[in-house]
Amino acid sequence: AQSVTQLGSHVSVSEGALVLLRCNYSSSVPPYLFWYVQYPNQGLQLLLKYTSAATLVKGINGFEAEFKKSETSFHLTKPSAHMSDAAEYFCAVSSNAGGTSYGKLTFGQGTILTVHP
């Protein structure tokens, strides 16, 4: 079984400040990890993914995330927030477990990011 916990349902930062969105995962097999962003009334857009290559993953729009196996974490960061970053962010885990779990994404509850001027 696999699961994702996102700490903090709401995060608020000032424009130009560091963005840190937390994600912890649980997986019985080596995980593949993803961060998606969802703007209001839209589908999900992939920001970045970890698939067992480099542990520091760089994504679009200046976001990056670091896979830490010892901490079972995959936190999302951005050095300087922009007003356009305001959205909901979802961490997700997948695995190469067989059977009916194959390729399935398990999502966290989401974190709403607010950026203040």
Which phi and psi (to 5°) does residue 62 adopt?
80, 5
Q: How many residues lie near other proteins (CB under 8 A)?
A: 27
Tokens of 95: 């695995």
Tokens standing for 63? 């976001």
The stretch among 19-27, 55-63, 69-77, 93-101 that binds other proteins (CB under 8 A) is 93-101
Whole-number minimum distance, CB 115 to other proteins, in Å? 20
Helices (H) and strands (E) in the chain — how many of each?
A: 0, 11
Is 14 a binder of other proteins (CB under 8 A)? no
22 lies in the site for other proteins, by CB under 8 A: no
5 binds other proteins (CB under 8 A): no
Nearer to other proteins, 103 or 117 (CB): 103
C-alpha to C-alpha distance for 11 and 38, rounded to whole angstroms? 15
Return the amino acid letter for 16.
G
Q: Which of 17, 22, 24, 44 binds other proteins (CB under 8 A)?
A: 44
